[in-house]
Structure 1
Amino acid sequence: MSKKKQGFISLTLMAIISFYLVVGFPKPAYAMHIMEGFLPVQWAIFWWVIALPFFILGLRSLTHITQANPELKLLLGLSGAFTFVLSALKIPSVTGSCSHPTGTGLGAVLFGPLTMTVLGSLVLLFQALLLAHGGLTTLGANAFSMAIAGPFAAYWIYNLTVRFTGKQKIALFLATTLANLLTYIITSIQLALAFPAPVGGIIASFAKFAGIFAITQVPLAISEGLLTILVWNWLQSYNHQELELLQLIKVKKQTNESIS
């Protein structure tokens, strides 16, 4: 058996074991992204409306990638599985929500933020249906924070850091760590807008939510950054051809954009 197949089997087993730990030892129902029915109706609708255009654009991006380069489907699946497993490892935090890794930064760096919008949204949908983690009414809000804001932040932080420092591993660490933190800043804003404090309003409410989140989220974000580097090292060892193909696609896209 080749090293590439051995590595893929090992990573798959790790994902299965992690998934079993998540499903086999259920947490209380309050341990969620933003739980089902927690947001007022007007805010639930608002975030759905904001998230849908990104999802539609993401579908176009994902379709283009799979049709033009079908050999990348396995890597796409890996990116989705990585997001599913990490974001399912939840730690109860603010009432009605939780802290957990997001796992979206890796896919955003590999395939771009729009593609990760679809993968992240599908992960959130499956978690809402299978793990009672999140909800359908709050799916738009959760998708905006984790599958839209986080991946876009990761993509731009990674590219800017590589451009100015040339350090790929540092760029990857900063991208995934800061994207994780931004996800929960957005979540704190969403909760603050929906539940302003009687004294101090939205700002006071945001400070309370963000302050509580920070206790668990900062170490989780750092841990996610370090874990993503380990996975990146594995990809460089066993999926070198796919990474080279992705880099070639990015260079060709940038060249076409500069010409146009």
Structure 2
Amino acid sequence: MNPKALLRRRSVQIVAAVAALSLLATRPAHAMHIMEGFLPWQWALFWWLVMLPFWVWGVRRIMTLLRERPETRMVLGVAGAFAFVLSSLKLPSVTGSSSHPTGTGLGAMLFGPAVMSVLGTIVLLFQALLIAHGGLTTLGANAFSMAVVGPFVAWSVWRLLRRRSLWLAVFLAAALANLSTYGVTSAQLALAYADAAGGFIGAFMKFSAIFAVTQLPLAVSEGILTVLLFNALQSNAAAEMRSLGALENVA
């Protein structure tokens, strides 16, 4: 079978498996994404303004990428689909909330955080419009945590560790991107709704505790799944990954 055709087949199989899990696990619940209307308008506007320069930077980076390396479009699509499917998976947590993977680590390692700031926002926009996961007024806040902070953490860990152990770098990049996203979301909620007694710190501890029980095993699972998909790409799209520089200076 043609290597690119085999890559498409394996990528579709992995994404389809995760999609099936999301259908089985999804229940009505408040998601880790901040829901529509939950933030005061001042904070909602603040996070939109924070995101604007990242979106401009990301769009420019994508345009340059597609112009200079058009052969990487398929891998770009796989990274976007992976983030969409994984972040659509909602598992019930405690106190009526839910946790979910993010899927942004893979794209950050391959394309850098700028590209993922746009891909992640597109994922969040579709989720808000199609499955009521997140919201439009809270899109800026959700994008900052999942499409900016998470990818920056993943990219930094990847760059730091890839010369020592490839699989460990991929695993930790994906897992820590997940955990940092939920940590920033907790901080965003704590800023908007400080605890009457404990202030920001008290509110942050309460919000983070809501997700911790399920988010930790989810981060581990996401790290393992990302390693599997990275290996599939490395076996079947090595030329595209070398073009992106993803296989340079790796153990």
Write the mapping of 1:56-71 to structure 2, written as runs, cut at 5 A: 56-71=56-71
Alignment-derived partner of residue 237 in structure 1: 235
Q: Secondary structure at the match of 2:245?
A: helix
For 2:246 and 2:7, how far apart are their aligned partners in 1? 24
Cα pair 2:4 2:236 within 8 Å, conserved: yes
Cα pair 2:26 2:90 within 8 Å, conserved: no
The letter for the 1-side match of 2:186 is S
**How high is the TM-score relative to the length of structure 1?**
0.89
Cα pair 1:31 1:93 within 8 Å, conserved: no
Alignment-derived partner of residue 170 in structure 1: 168
Deviation at 1:16, TM superposition (A): 4.0
Alignment-derived partner of residue 73 in structure 2: 73
For 1:147 and 1:141, how far apart are their aligned partners in 2? 10
Q: Of the two structures, which has the highest relative contact order with CA contacts closer than 8 Å and spacing of 6 or more?
A: 2
**How high is the TM-score relative to the length of structure 2?**
0.92
CA 1:173–1:24 in 2, change beyond 3 Å: closer, same or farther? Answer: closer
Write the mapping of 1:1-260 to structure 2, written as runs, cut at 5 A: 1-16=1-16, 18-19=18-19, 22=22, 27-28=27-28, 30-31=30-31, 33-93=33-93, 98-163=98-163, 166-247=164-245
For 1:76 and 1:140, how far apart are their aligned partners in 2? 22
Q: Deviations over 1:30-77 (max 9, x none)?
A: 335111111111111111111111011000001100011111011000
Deviation at 1:10, TM superposition (A): 3.5
Alignment-derived partner of residue 255 in structure 1: none
Moved more, 24-33 or 34-43: 24-33
CA 1:248–1:88 in 2, change beyond 3 Å: closer, same or farther? Answer: closer
Q: Which runs of 4+ in 1 moved over 2 A?
A: 1-4, 13-27, 29-32, 92-98, 248-251
Cα pair 1:34 1:97 within 8 Å, conserved: no
CA 1:63–1:96 in 2, change beyond 3 Å: closer, same or farther? Answer: farther
The letter for the 2-side match of 1:61 is R
CA 1:4–1:53 in 2, change beyond 3 Å: closer, same or farther? Answer: same
CA 1:234–1:248 in 2, change beyond 3 Å: closer, same or farther? Answer: closer
Deviation at 1:210, TM superposition (A): 1.1
The letter for the 2-side match of 1:216 is T
For 1:3 and 1:248, how far apart are their aligned partners in 2? 18
The letter for the 2-side match of 1:114 is A
Give the aligned CA root-mean-square deviation in angstroms: 2.2
The letter for the 1-side match of 2:231 is N
- Report how many aligned residue pairs link the two structures: 249
Identity %: 55
Moved more, 180-189 or 18-27: 18-27
For 2:227 and 2:25, how far apart are their aligned partners in 1? 28
CA 1:178–1:226 in 2, change beyond 3 Å: closer, same or farther? Answer: same
CA 1:188–1:25 in 2, change beyond 3 Å: closer, same or farther? Answer: closer
Deviation at 1:129, TM superposition (A): 0.4
The letter for the 2-side match of 1:146 is M
For 1:96 and 1:135, how far apart are their aligned partners in 2? 18
Cα pair 1:34 1:96 within 8 Å, conserved: no
Deviation at 1:23, TM superposition (A): 5.6
The letter for the 2-side match of 1:128 is A
For 2:230 and 2:95, how far apart are their aligned partners in 1? 34
Deviation at 1:119, TM superposition (A): 0.3
Deviation at 1:29, TM superposition (A): 5.1
For 1:193 and 1:38, how far apart are their aligned partners in 2? 13
Cα pair 1:127 1:134 within 8 Å, conserved: yes
